[in-house]
Amino acid sequence: MKTRLLLVAAILATALMPVSASAEPALTVGVAYDIGGRGDRSFNDASHAGLEKAQKQFDFELVPVVTDGSSADREKRIRSLIAKNCDPIIAIGSGY
Q: What is the CATH number of the domain that holds 86?
A: 3.40.50.2300
8 Å CB contact between 28 and 85: yes
CB 64 within 8 A of CB 5: no
Higher pLDDT, 16 or 91: 91
Report residue 12's pLDDT band, with 50, 70 and 90 as the boundaries.
low
- Examine residue 67 and state whether it is found in any structural domain, yes or no: yes
What backbone phi and psi angles, to 5 degrees, belong to 16? -90, 0
Return the SS3 of 19.
Answer: coil
The pLDDT, as a whole number, for residue 95 is: 86
Is 65 inside a domain boundary? yes
Is 0.75 topped by the overall pTM?
no
Q: What is the domain extent for residue 50?
A: 19-91
Is the residue at 10 inside a domain?
no
What is the predicted pLDDT for the residue at 34? 93
